[in-house]
Amino acid sequence: MFIDEVRIRIKAGNGGNGCLAFRREKFVPKGGPSGGDGGRGGDIVLESSNHYNTLLHFRYNPEHTAERGRHGEGSNRKGRDGNDIVLPVPVGTVVYDEATGEQLHDFAQAEDRCIVARGGRGGRGNARFATPWHQTPTEHEPGSLGEQKSLRLELKLLADVGLVGFPNAGKSTLISVISAARPKIADYPFTTLEPNLGVVSTQDQRTFVVADIPGLIEGAHEGAGLGIRFLRHVERTRLLVHLVDVSELSGRKPSDDFKIVLKELERFSPELASKPMFVVAAKLDAAQDAKRLDSLRRMAARRNMPFFKISSVTGEGIEALKFAMAEAVLSPR
């Protein structure tokens, strides 16, 4: 199950209380205050890991509480600090404070750590209040409370290239041809229900990551179809590859499909729509009407977008597209 957004509740440990105690021993005639400090409460820490690729492990375990600090004891013994809790998250996770909407951290690489809730400070024992003019203090402090928050975790896949287009435009077939990914492929809309990642290798041994997301339809920004829920997964990409079905099987004009998807991208995020984009005429093997292909080519030329034509079935144009994608994302900026 692919889970890319969860809400969790976290509570850092409270600090331990300071102790009120006095020392009275046979060979310590003057004695004195001996209450130790309380221990610090444990923190809640998030750490990114390559061993996770979804947020599923939070789905059924949404509450996390760190250990409180132990109370101080007599003979100036400090209470033990509470243990921290380290929660693993996939690389690409963005953490938001649910109450304020503030972004707390963006985990863009593995083994990155962030303290999202700090444990409470331990209270001071009465030994800490002793002075030459106040030799028998009874003051001592309670530990402070640990931070408590509700967080929203949002996963944005890290990929170099994002495949976008209408349902059944051939995105899943393409990623299965150019990489080892094996997404479900069928002849009905919305076969792809969750993003797929594939690692593409070129003939000169360069590699890059491609993300295939569920198809967009008109009105996606208002929730039609699968909506725009998965578009966050191509926000980090350096290149968008827009596949358009030019065969007669779709029953739609390729130019109309092209315009609709562009409009949905713009409504989701103008920044996303402004990314470099390749226009790819897909299903060339099933295209009979050359006018459909030409209209799409002219539309791409007017927007200064590189144009490719491919058939994932026959392999036509695949190597040229792979090479162009590698050049676009792996060449120095």
Same domain, 120 and 166: no
Same domain, 196 and 114: no
Per-residue pLDDT tens over the stretch 295-325: 889 999 999 999 999 888 888 999 999 999 9
Same domain, 11 and 54: yes
Per-residue pLDDT tens over the stretch 154-169: 988 778 898 988 887 8
Q: What is the structure's pLDDT at 36?
A: 96
Same domain, 194 and 124: no
Rounded-to-integer distance, Cα 318 and Cα 325, Å: 11
Q: What is the structure's pLDDT at 279?
A: 94
In this structure, what CATH number is given to the domain that contains residue 186? 3.40.50.300
Considering its fold, how many domains does the chain have in total? 2
Across 27-45, average pLDDT? 90
Same domain, 89 and 192: no
C-alpha dist (Å) from residue 242 to 148, 175, 177, 245, 297? 44, 13, 16, 10, 13
Sheet with strand 113-117: strands edge to edge? 85-90, 44-49, 113-117
Q: Which of 155, 184, 214 is the last residue of a domain?
A: 155
Same domain, 240 and 134: no
Across 172-200, average pLDDT? 72
Same domain, 150 and 173: no
Same domain, 177 and 95: no
Per-residue pLDDT tens over the stretch 55-87: 989 988 999 999 999 999 998 999 999 999 999
Rounded-to-integer distance, Cα 204 and Cα 323, Å: 10
Q: What is the structure's pLDDT at 101?
A: 92
Sheet with strand 277-282: strands edge to edge? 196-201, 207-212, 161-165, 239-245, 277-282, 307-309
Question: Would you place residue 127 in the very low, low, confident or very high pLDDT band (cuts 50, 70, 90)?
Answer: very high
Same domain, 149 and 183: no
Same domain, 36 and 116: yes
Q: Which of 123, 155, 187 is the last residue of a domain?
A: 155
Backbone torsions φ then ψ of 221, nearest 5 degrees: -65, -15
CB 34 within 8 A of CB 76: yes
Per-residue pLDDT tens over the stretch 240-270: 999 998 887 777 788 888 888 888 888 888 8
Write down the pTM of the prediction. Answer: 0.75
Q: Which of 155, 188, 212 is the last residue of a domain?
A: 155
Question: Would you place residue 283 in the very low, low, confident or very high pLDDT band (cuts 50, 70, 90)?
Answer: confident
In this structure, what CATH number is given to the domain that contains residue 79? 2.70.210.12
H or E segment and range at residue 318 = helix 318-330
Q: Which domain holds residue 283?
A: 161-330
Same domain, 72 and 89: yes
Same domain, 247 and 176: yes
